[in-house]
């Protein structure tokens, strides 16, 4: 009886792991790419308009492109920077990001940072 229960449990766990693996990888196979027209429509001026207090969002798929956009936003900041992060880890990109924040602060930009987790 115990052997049958353990075999059934093992089959269930194995089936669950196969399902979890398929469910986490198959959507990435059929992921749509951003077209050239959408990339052209997303301009830098959309983020730096005169509408004070308006939130803006950009959907970026690649980590390198995401970092480049963050650095660009830091370099174009004129008055304030409000930065919220869940966690910051040691690394080259973190040092570059924090360096850009310091450069912005030296230009006279008011910087506020909210880190909502433990940091290393």
For the segment 32-65, what is each residue's pLDDT rounded down to a tens digit?
777 777 777 776 666 555 555 566 677 788 888 8
Q: What is the C-alpha to C-alpha distance for residues 84 and 116, in angstroms, rounded to an integer?
A: 8
Q: Check residues 28 and 82 and name the one with the higher pLDDT.
A: 82
**Nearest partner of 100 among 73, 61, 62, judged by Cα:** 73
pLDDT in the model for residue 45? 62
Of the ranges 12-26, 30-44, 78-92, which is most confident? 12-26
120 pLDDT exceeds 60? no
Beta bridge partners of 83: 113
Residue 105 binned pLDDT confidence (cut-offs 50, 70, 90):
very high
Q: What is the C-alpha to C-alpha distance for residues 88 and 117, in angstroms, rounded to an integer?
A: 8
The count of residues in the chain is 120
Residue 116 binned pLDDT confidence (cut-offs 50, 70, 90):
confident
pTM over 0.75: no
What kind and span of H or E run contains 85?
Answer: strand 80-85
Average pLDDT rounded to a whole number, residues 2-30:
89
Name the burial class of residue 94, with classes exposed (0-12), middle (13-18) and buried (19+) by CB atoms within 10 angstroms of its CB. middle
């Amino acid at each position: 009886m115990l052997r049958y229960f353990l075999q059934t449990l093992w089959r269930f766990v194995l089936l669950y792991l196969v399902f979890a693996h398929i469910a986490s990888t198959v959507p990435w196979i059929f992921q749509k790419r951003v077209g050239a027209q959408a990339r052209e429509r997303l301009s830098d001026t959309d983020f730096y308009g005169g509408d004070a207090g308006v939130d803006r969002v950009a959907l970026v798929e690649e980590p390198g492109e995401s970092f480049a956009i963050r650095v660009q936003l830091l370099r174009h900041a004129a008055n304030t920077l409000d930065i919220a992060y869940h966690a910051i880890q040691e690394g080259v990109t973190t040092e570059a990001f924090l360096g850009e924040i310091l450069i912005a602060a030296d230009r006279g930009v008011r910087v506020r940072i909210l880190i909502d987790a433990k940091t290393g």
